[in-house]
Structures are given as structure tokens and as C-alpha cells.
């Protein structure tokens, strides 16, 4: 439904651009939210984008548009905009978003912009650029409401009216001591309900969650989600309040991390490659298929080893796909459950043995079920009970091993602090393929005596 709206908007704007209907365009552009315009921009050429950008009258909307553009689109767009204008828009944006944008630019361009920005703002932006992108420091906003604990409710309201216009989400008021250290928190809501002369220290809560600048952004996001708060204060090593991470950034982190996990598990790198060119997309995906290629070649040598047996009983080969497929699929199930469980916190690495044992049990039960079914097909087709038993046992061992490997590898990776999502990708599937095929031929040649 919402996609439909975007589609209609894109179509209307393209039509108006073709007809060069300036008046209409100006009207529609100024009635559209910057976030929606950023979606439209995806379908337009740079020249068209610039034409629309210049029509936007509200500088806040221009800023929203900038910050909502796809990764990589900002540097291309601003090539056609004068430096003065860019700086003016950036000056009206939240500092953390400015830092994100400037971080995408080549050094020369970003230096020029930082130089032109107002001294104070530029310092803040430069400060943010020093933190690692994926940490609390890298995503925090250095504009927040910090007051001394002696401040009265009335004074706090006055300071909001006079000073804190540039704060992005002023819903929490942080109390700090003379050294800028975080001592408590109160909310805008409390401010309006307490008597005007009451002091912050008397109504604030001293139970304040905070995170350090170096904390991984995913951890920060989990804290905000767990405690249902709208922002979390960020402190340096000495507990000095240096910024806040707001809930809108937390949403972005969760969406980004989920996408990254999914892509890694499918072996497509970490970044979303859809918007990339064919060549770039090929280059990113090529190495991930290497594991599968090497694994396949190893499986080739394993089977070659049994060439004599296949010559005698050619139908042995016909069961290779079903045995590999059953192992591969249950292995994917197991590793997905473990990776996602670790990501959402429902599984803990200390539960490794319990989880692995459970997966192994599930693998055995499902293996017995499908082993029986596939063995039955073998029996009906060839009426050789030893062949049927071999195929059945091969399915059981393939599925049990797959469930074991699929759960133990991501758990082990998590223990040594390697991202388990990577482990759950092509590596596990490939390992399972090789083991499955080997077990199958070992069992079959032994039982059939060839």
C-alpha cells in the first residue's frame, strides 16, 4: 500500500518533468516529505534530482532528503550544488547525520566543507568522525539537554525555550555535575508536571542507563530496545556525558544488522549489492562461491575413489542428490536457528552443549523419518534390501551430521568472537556435502560388499 503511494509519486513527478511543468512540480515537491522524495530520487537522473532539489523551499526538508538518500547517492548529488548551499543545509541538520554524510565524501571535499561550517558545529562533526562508525561514539548525537542538578523545573523550561532549539529529540533532560559527569535523568514530561520551583535533583531518577563511546552499536541498540527508552546517554571513560543515541538510529541499526546477517548467511558479503552494477555485484559474490567450488572438487575426489563400485552398481549415483539435499537443508535449518538465536539473545553461547545436543536429536529423528521414506523408494525401485538399508542409513547419518555441524560451527565461531553468520554460510553447507557423500559410499560399499 505504501509502496503504491511511492510509485504514484514517482510516476507523477516523471510525467511533470517530461512536460517541464515547473509550477506543478514545485507544488508537489514542497508538499512531499524529504524521506519520500529520497525514494523518488532513486529513479531519477542526477540532472533531474538537482532540478527538484532546487525547488525545495524548506531547508529542513532539504536536510532530511540528504540524510535519507541511499548510501553513495549523496556524493554524486552534491557535485552539482554550490558549497555555500551544502553547508547551509548541513548547518540545519542533526550533527550525527552530518558526520555520516561527510564520512562518505573524498578527503578534499570534506575538508572544504568542514572549513566552511560554523566553527562550533564543525568541531562537533570532526569529533564524531574520530569514533569508529559502528560504535556508540560513531552514531551518537552530540546535541542534548544537559543541566546541573540544582536547576529548577522553571529554569529548565526557560533553557529549553532559549538554548536548546537544535536538540533533535529533547525528551530527556540529563543532570550532570560540575565536571560534566552524568548523575541523573528526567523527562520533559516530568518537567511539566512538577511544581516550577522544584529542583532537578529532587525529581530526577539516579538510575540512569548509559553506554560508553566504544560500545558496539548493536549492543547499544539492544539496550534501547530492552528498556523501551527513546534515547540512551553516551559517556566517555570518565563518565562525562558526550552524546545521546536516539531511538530512530536504533531502528536503522536493527534493520541494517538483520540485513547484514541475512546476506552473510547467503554468502553475498555484507553490503547490499542490489543497487550495484553487474560487474561490481559479480566481484562481491565471486569469492563467496569459492568455498562451494573447492568443496565440490573435494566431493569429486571422494566419489572418484569409489569409481569401481559405481561401475558395478551405477544406480548408487542416483541417490547422491537426495542424500546431499537432505543434509544441506537440515544443516541450514540448524545454523539459521543458532545464528538468529544468538543475534536476538534467545540463545547464549554458554548453552552450546544443550543446543548442539538438541539439534543432534532433532537431526536423528528427522533422519530416521526421511531415511525410512527414501530407503522405501530404493526398495520399491530395485528390490534390494541391502541397498535400501544403505540409503536409509546414509540419510540418517547425513542429517545427523548436518544438524551437528550446522549448530556447532556457528556456536564455536561466536565463542572465539567471529561473526557466526559468516560461519552459517557456504562453508557449513559445503563441509556437510563432503561428509554426506563420503558416509554414503562407505556405508553402501560395506553393506553391499563391493
Q: Given the complex with its own copies, which of 53 and 440 has the nearer CB atom?
A: 440
CA gap 399, 404 in Å, rounded: 9
Nearest residue (CB) to its own copies, 110 versus 332: 332
269 φψ region: left (φ > 0), alpha (ψ -120 to 50), beta (else): left
Task: Give the number of residues written for the chain.
Answer: 450
188: closest CA among 159, 225, 211?
159
- Binding its own copies (rule: CB under 8 A), the pick from 21, 46, 150, 300 is 300
Q: Which is nearer to its own copies, 118 or 189 (CB)?
A: 189
Binds its own copies by CB under 8 A, chosen from 8, 21, 318, 386:
318
For the segment 55-94, give every residue that binds its own copies (CB under 8 A).
68, 70
Q: Which sign does the torsion angle of CA 305, 310, 312, 316 carry?
A: positive
The window from 46-54, 123-131, 133-141, 357-365 that contacts its own copies (CB under 8 A) reads: 357-365
Cβ distance to its own copies smaller for residue 21 or 35: 35
> What number of chain residues touch its own copies (CB under 8 A)?
123
Nearest to 371 by CA among 305, 442, 436: 436
Question: Any idea what the Cα angle at residue 407 is, between residues 401 and 409, rounded to 5°?
Answer: 95
What the block records as the C-alpha cell of 270 is 555484507
Task: Please tell me whether residue 8 binds its own copies under the rule CB under 8 A.
Answer: no
Q: Tell me whether residue 112 or residue 318 sits nearer to its own copies (CB atom).
A: 318
Q: Rounded to the nearest whole angstrom, what is the least distance from the CB of residue 296 to its own copies in the complex?
A: 3
Select 50 or 360, whichever has its Cβ closest to its own copies.
360
Residue in 172, 178, 190 with CA at minimum distance from that of residue 149 = 178
C-alpha cell at 136: 556508540
Query: Interface with its own copies includes 336 (CB under 8 A)?
Result: yes
Please list every residue from 103 through 132 that binds its own copies, using CB under 8 A. Answer: none
Instruction: Read off the C-alpha cell for 399.
Output: 542429517
Could you tell me which residues are beta bridge partners of residue 179?
A: none
Q: Smaller CB distance to its own copies: residue 101 or 114? A: 101
Q: What is the DSSP letter of 92?
A: T
100 vs 433 by CB, closer to its own copies: 433
Strand, helix or coil at 151? coil
Residues β-bridged to residue 146:
174
Q: Which of residues 270-289 bind its own copies (CB under 8 A)?
A: 272-275, 278, 281-282, 285-286, 288-289
Contact status: 192 vs its own copies (CB under 8 A): yes
Closest of 182, 153, 184, 157 to residue 170, by C-alpha:
157
Q: Dig out the grid coordinates for 52 from the structure.
A: 527538484
Give per-residue burial for 251-277: e unless 16+ CB within 10 Å, then b. Answer: eebbebbeebbebbbebbbeeebeeee
To the nearest whole angstrom, how small is the minimum distance from the Cβ of residue 293 to its own copies? Answer: 5
Q: Which is nearer to its own copies, 21 or 354 (CB)?
A: 354
- CA-derived radius of gyration, the chain: 30
- Select the residue interacting with its own copies from 330, 393, 411, 444 (CB under 8 A): 330
- Site residues for its own copies, 404-443, by CB under 8 A, read 426, 429-430, 433-434, 437
Phi, psi of 32 (to 5 degrees): -100, 140
Binding-residue pattern over the window 133 to 162 for its own copies, x denoting contact by CB under 8 A? ------------------------x--xx-
Q: What minimum distance in Å lies between the beta carbon of 305 and its own copies?
A: 9
**Residue 289: CB minimum distance to its own copies, A:** 6
- Closest approach of its own copies to the CB of residue 52, in Å: 18
Q: Which of residues 22-51 bind its own copies (CB under 8 A)?
A: 33, 35-36, 39
Q: Which stretch binds its own copies (CB under 8 A): 51-59, 113-121, 127-135, 319-327?
A: 319-327
Q: Hey, what's the cell of 29? A: 515537491
Q: Which is nearer to its own copies, 106 or 308 (CB)?
A: 308
Here the cell at position 182 is: 552524568
Site for its own copies in 208-247 (CB under 8 A): 215-216, 219, 222-228, 230, 247
Partnered with residue 182 across adjacent β-strands are: 176
Residue 170 binding its own copies, by CB under 8 A: yes
- Among 88, 254, 412, 448, contact with its own copies (rule: CB under 8 A): 254
Beta strands, E only, 130-240: 146-148, 172-176, 182-187, 211-212, 231-235
Amino acid at each position: 500500500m505504501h509502496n503504491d503511494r511511492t510509485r504514484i509519486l514517482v510516476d507523477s513527478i516523471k510525467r511533470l518533468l517530461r512536460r517541464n511543468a515547473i509550477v506543478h512540480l514545485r507544488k508537489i515537491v514542497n508538499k512531499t516529505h524529504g524521506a519520500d522524495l529520497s525514494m523518488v530520487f532513486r529513479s531519477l537522473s542526477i540532472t533531474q534530482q538537482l532540478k527538484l532539489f532546487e525547488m525545495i523551499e524548506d531547508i529542513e526538508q532539504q536536510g532530511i532528503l540528504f540524510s535519507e538518500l541511499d548510501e553513495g547517492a549523496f556524493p554524486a548529488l552534491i557535485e552539482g550544488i554550490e558549497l555555500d548551499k551544502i553547508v547551509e543545509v548541513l548547518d540545519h541538520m542533526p550533527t550525527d547525520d552530518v558526520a555520516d554524510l561527510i564520512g562518505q565524501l573524498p578527503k578534499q571535499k570534506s575538508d572544504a566543507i568542514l572549513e566552511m561550517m560554523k566553527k562550533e558545529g564543525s568541531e562537533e562533526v570532526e569529533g564524531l568522525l574520530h569514533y569508529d562508525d559502528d560504535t556508540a561514539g560513531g552514531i551518537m548525537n552530540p546535541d542534548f539537554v544537559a543541566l546541573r542538578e540544582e536547576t529548577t523545573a522553571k529554569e529548565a523550561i526557560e533553557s529549553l525555550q532559549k538554548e536548546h532549539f537544535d536538540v533533535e529529540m529533547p525528551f530527556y533532560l540529563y543532570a550532570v555535575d560540575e565536571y560534566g559527569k552524568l548523575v541523573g535523568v528526567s523527562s520533559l514530561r516530568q518537567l511539566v508536571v512538577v511544581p516550577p520551583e522544584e529542583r532537578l535533583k529532587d525529581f530526577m531518577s539516579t538510575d540512569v542507563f548509559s553506554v560508553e563511546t566504544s560500545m558496539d552499536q548493536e549492543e547499544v541498540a539492544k539496550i534501547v530496545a530492552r528498556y523501551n527508552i527513546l534515547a540512551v546517554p553516551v559517556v566517555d571513560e570518565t563518565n562525562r556525558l558526550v552524546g545521546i543515541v536516539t531511538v530512530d538510529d536504533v531502528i536503522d541499526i536493527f534493520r541494517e544488522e538483520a540485513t547484514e546477517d541475512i546476506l552473510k548467511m547467503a554468502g553475498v558479503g555484507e553490503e547490499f549489492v542490489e543497487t550495484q552494477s553487474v560487474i561490481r555485484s559479480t566481484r562481491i559474490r565471486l569469492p563467496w562461491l569459492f568455498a562451494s567450488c573447492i568443496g565440490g572438487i573435494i566431493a569429486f575426489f571422494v566419489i572418484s575413489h569409489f569409481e569401481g563400485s559405481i561401475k558395478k552398481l551405477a544406480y548408487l549415483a542416483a541417490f547422491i542428490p537426495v542424500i546431499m539435499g537432505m543434509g544441506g537443508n537440515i544443516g541450514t535449518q540448524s545454523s539459521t536457528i543458532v545464528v538468529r538465536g544468538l543475534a536476538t539473545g534467545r540463545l547464549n553461547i554458554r548453552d552450546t552443549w544443550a543446543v548442539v545436543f538438541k539439534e543432534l536429536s532433532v537431526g536423528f529423528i528427522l533422519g530416521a523419518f526421511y531415511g525410512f521414506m527414501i530407503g522405501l523408494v530404493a526398495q520399491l525401485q530395485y528390490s534390494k534390501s541391502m541397498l535400501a538399508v544403505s540409503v536409509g542409513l546414509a540419510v540418517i547419518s547425513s542429517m545427523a551430521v548436518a544438524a551437528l555441524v550446522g549448530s556447532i560451527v556457528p556456536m564455536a565461531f561466536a565463542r572465539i568472537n567471529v561473526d557466526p553468520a559468516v560461519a552459517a554460510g557456504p562453508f557449513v553447507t559445503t563441509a556437510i556435502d563432503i561428509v554426506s557423500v563420503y558416509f554414503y559410499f562407505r556405508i553402501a560399499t560395506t553393506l553391499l560388499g563391493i
